[in-house]
Amino acid sequence: MSVCINPQCSNPENQDTSLFCQSCGSELLLDGRYRVLKELGGGGFGKTYEVLDSNPQKSQTNQPIYKVLKVLLHNHPKYVELFEREVNVLSRLKHPGIPKVEPDAHFTFFVKNSDKPLYCLVMEKIEGLNLSQYIAQRGKCISQKMAIQWLMQLLRILEEIHHHNFFHRDIKPSNIMLRSTGQLVLIDFGTAREVTET
């Protein structure tokens, strides 16, 4: 199935072989390579989706490459500024505890019959649960040893972020993903800021 990201689309579900939405006529192959598979979540500013990256140059193993697409739905200048800041921060940070973003992973997309762009960012898909989900599914508190291990991992991630003169500013359990390997990943850099004299 392919999902149309047009916020006004009345029926966004399409066959996975379609190039255009059967309901609104918007393109389904974004930036010539990303096919939206399903919605992952949403908030006040935008939505996130799981996408399949069909770029043949990126897949040497012939395995499908799944990523996350973040779409800004409101073009208010302040929201666009925050979105572009997130793109800037993530493209400069390289750490296993921070989602990978390729240099060409930021683009604008125009839905059918609209002159207002949707701002899009594609990043690594982190397989796992956020810490809120993990604790809820676990059903009990973690041990002191695990808490210390997590804290040390977070400190190393924050050290990398601060080394590049940024602050995350929204650290909470729902913004910390736990991979199946035990590696923590800090997500949602939408409110990150560069360190200034103030």
Active site residues per annotation:
170
CA dihedral 110, 73, 108, 120 (to 10 degrees): -130
Handedness of CA 43, 79, 188, 4 (dihedral sign): positive
- CA-wise closest residue to 84 among 8, 196, 194, 177: 194
CA 30 – CA 41 distance, rounded (Å): 19
CA 60 – CA 66 distance, rounded (Å): 14
